[in-house]
Structure 1
Amino acid sequence: ERKLEDEQRQFKPVRDYAAAFRTPMVITLAIQYFCWSVGVYGFVIWLPSMLKAAGETSIVLVGWLSAGPYLAAAALMIIGSYFSDASGNRKNFVWPFLLIGAVAFYGSYLLGTSSFWLGYGLLVVAGGTMYAPYGPFFAWIAETLPRNVAGGAIALINCCGALGSFVGSYFVGWLNGVTGGSDASYLFMAVALLASALLTLTLRGHADTPAPAL
């Protein structure tokens, strides 16, 4: 409890939620999380349909293949969070993963339907790297704002993420229907993740905290 109190004294005081919601960091992270969620939920909702459309695979095989990105995500979330805690750095364990996800989606867009298994490998990379930064991301918010406003800021950022999840789910499905394939969807999600990574880079500092003994 004493250590937590000492950490709170390091924060610049923020009077209330209204003041917190106007800070450049909260506004930027809200937009960043919106873009990030566009990619995540466009991927989550439509992954089985994209796999089915990309190759002549059975529904059972599609089910097994759909698990691949989430297995990668489970491993990367643990690894990324461990090293983020060990280094005390948050920012540098958020934007690189999102950038890699954007590149993987763009690679899937360039491949089209020419190579199913290579395209699937890129989707595994994209899925894993989109989930990897969640721990460092939300720890970053709590380590940047005092506790009297941190909960409200996280709620606002989550609301923007929920809106992004709707936009991603809707527009990926719409693009798939209009174009008759997944290529445009991959490009759309790549752009959304790239925007999220770039917005993260615009934030000053990286919320360094003393690295705990692990």
Structure 2
Amino acid sequence: MSTPTALDHGTSSVRDAVYRRITLRLIPFIFVCYLFNYLDRVNVGFAKLQMLDALKFSETIYGLGAGIFFIGYVLCGLPSNLALTRFGPRRWIAVMMLAWGGLSTCLLFVTTPMEFYVLRLLTGAAEAGFFPGIVLYLSQWFPNARRGRIMALFMSAIPVSGLLGSPFSGWILNHFAVGQHGLAAWQWMFLIQGIPTMVLGALAYFLLSDSFAKATWLTSEQRHVVESDLAEDARNKPAQQRDSLGAVFATPLIWVLGLIYFCIQSGVYAINFWLPSIIKNLGFSDALVIGWLSAIPYLLAGVFMLLVGRSADLRNERRWHLVVPMLMGAAGLVIAVNFAATPAIAIVGLSIATMGALTGLPMFWPLPTARLSAGVAAGGLAIINSVGQMAGFLSPYIVGFIKDQTGSTDAALYALAGLIVVGSAVAWKVAGKRA
């Protein structure tokens, strides 16, 4: 048994210093990895601006290709997360990033719908364990009281990927518009944005530590602080959860949380995959201008996400900090639809939708990590994430299908806004006043 030290009972500033050290060591690299993970997932939205005409794809083909990614993602989420616990985070994260980076780069060779579908399916399978694995990984380093801020820091990579990636993608499409070395602009985009992911995958093996217990850059006293805080969290979790794979599927809370996450992600993916096209339909044609305008909602979402994450931890309150952003996401989509003829107001609506939907993501994850026991956490988090990611298939496909049938995305965005409201009602009931 570890011998108590002065650090065990030290001031909050000393304890803060321990977690500040861990944060500075882990979060910047994980942030960059997730930035490229998300950029890789949504850059097809910008490729669409030229790819459809070049390959003669319909909106429905694009919507199916964008969404089929999540079939592979959902099918492989649980086994991939279990593999992460079997082989260790740094090894498995490295393997996943090398695989999806290579597959995403290969999208530049697509010429037929079937090739598009197959590569998107395989890329989704390769990425499946990354996000739930990182959520599990961070929950093994930070106690629940600190996870709101940590998840906000980590997941701020989503709006940053839009903030940086949208103008960058627009620049690529403009700069390589005439084609160079036999590649079209959309092909250059997949190449330029895919290779760094493979480099980061190789670095993950050397830069990450499998656990705080194996982190040689922490002192024994610092490791004891983390150990005691996580042990306290474990004592506060429900005792009735059985630690087995069967218990994962038999735990109702896991499926309810998956439903909430599905509703959040429905709004997120509607924005991610269709924001460039929606802005183009407002009357903007230049790819670089579309990129800069797409960056505005992501910039505001990044700032809002960090502020809400800090507020949630300081107040130790989860319900309002989750439900209010979700309702903002729904309201923003409705505003964007109703003021499509007024670009300035429509972009304000899209900004509100992006701020709300993206902030709902990090505010959601402290709930399952606080309430699931260690034995069901790996499988439970993977299932919750997989259920939520099914929205990534349904949302873009439904939007694309409805647009092909009606010539407008309005009805689809109304439906998605309604789904987010339903999710917020369930979240209100589940979250409670304290998590």
TM-score, shorter chain, exceeding 0.5: yes
Q: CA deviation at 1:204?
A: 5.5
Q: 2:414, 2:344 → 1: CA distance? A: 19
CA distance in 2 between partners of 1:189 and 1:103 (Å): 11
Report the Cα distance in structure 1 between the residues aligned to 2:253 and 2:429, rounded to whole angstroms.
Answer: 10
Distance 1:33 1:139, change over 3 A: same
Q: How does 1:41-190 map to 2 (within 5 A)?
A: 41-111=269-339, 113-190=340-417
Are the equivalent residues in 1 in contact too, given 2:318–2:431 (CA < 8 A)? no
Identical amino acids, percent of aligned pairs: 28
From 261, 267, 273, the equivalent of 1:39 is 267
Distance in 1 of aligned mates of 2:261 and 2:332: 19
**What is the rounded CA distance, in whole Å, between the counterparts of 1:64 and 1:126 in structure 2?**
17
Contact 1:101–1:130 (CA under 8 A) maintained in structure 2 = yes
Q: Partners of 2:320 and 2:247 in 1: how far apart?
A: 27
Task: State the shift of 1:188 in Å.
Answer: 2.1
1:85 is aligned with what amino acid?
D
CA contact (8 A) 2:336 2:348 kept: no
- When residues 91 and 23 of structure 1 are mapped into structure 2, their CA distance, relative to the original with a 3 A threshold, is farther
Higher relative contact order (CA 8 A, sep 6+): 1
2:236 pairs with 1:10: yes
Which amino acid counterpart does residue 391 of structure 2 have in structure 1? Answer: G
Q: Which has the greater radius of gyration? A: 2
Once the 2 structures are TM-superposed, how far is the Cα of residue 6 of structure 1 from its aligned partner? Answer: 1.8
Instruction: Answer with 61-70 or 9-18: which moved more.
Output: 9-18
Q: Distance in 2 between matches of 1:190 and 1:58?
A: 29
Does the CA-based 8 Å contact 2:328-2:355 persist in structure 1? Answer: no
1:64-119, Cα deviation, whole Å (9 max, x unpaired) = 111111111211111111111111122221111011110111122222x3211101
CA distance in 1, matches of 2:431, 2:228: 28
Q: Offset at 1:148?
A: 1.7
Q: Give unmatched runs, 5+ long, in structure 1.
A: 209-214
Which amino acid counterpart does residue 8 of structure 1 have in structure 2? A
Q: 8 Å contact 1:36–1:193 — kept in the other structure?
A: yes
Structure 2: where are the runs of 5+ without partners? 1-226
Partners of 2:389 and 2:431 in 1: how far apart? 25
Count of aligned residue pairs for this structure pair: 207
Do the aligned partners of 1:34 and 1:160 also contact (CA within 8 Å) in 2?
A: yes
Q: What's 1:211 paired with?
A: none
Matched to 1:24, the amino acid is P
Q: Distance in 2 between the 1:105 and 1:121 partners?
A: 10
* Deviations 1:11-54 (CA, angstroms, capped at 9, x unpaired): 22211343344333222111111122122112111111111112
Equivalent residues of 1:76, 1:128 under 8 A apart: yes
* TM-score in terms of structure 1 length: 0.89
**Structure 2 length-normalised TM:** 0.46
Measured in 2, the distance between the counterparts of 1:22 and 1:91 equals: 25
CA distance in 1, matches of 2:341, 2:333: 15
Cα distance change on mapping 1:77 and 1:56 into 2, 3 Å: closer
**1:186 Cα deviation from its structure 2 partner:** 2.1
Distance 1:204 1:158 in 2: 17
SS in 2 for 1:143: helix
Q: Which amino acid aligns with 2:410?
A: D
Aligned match of 1:212: none
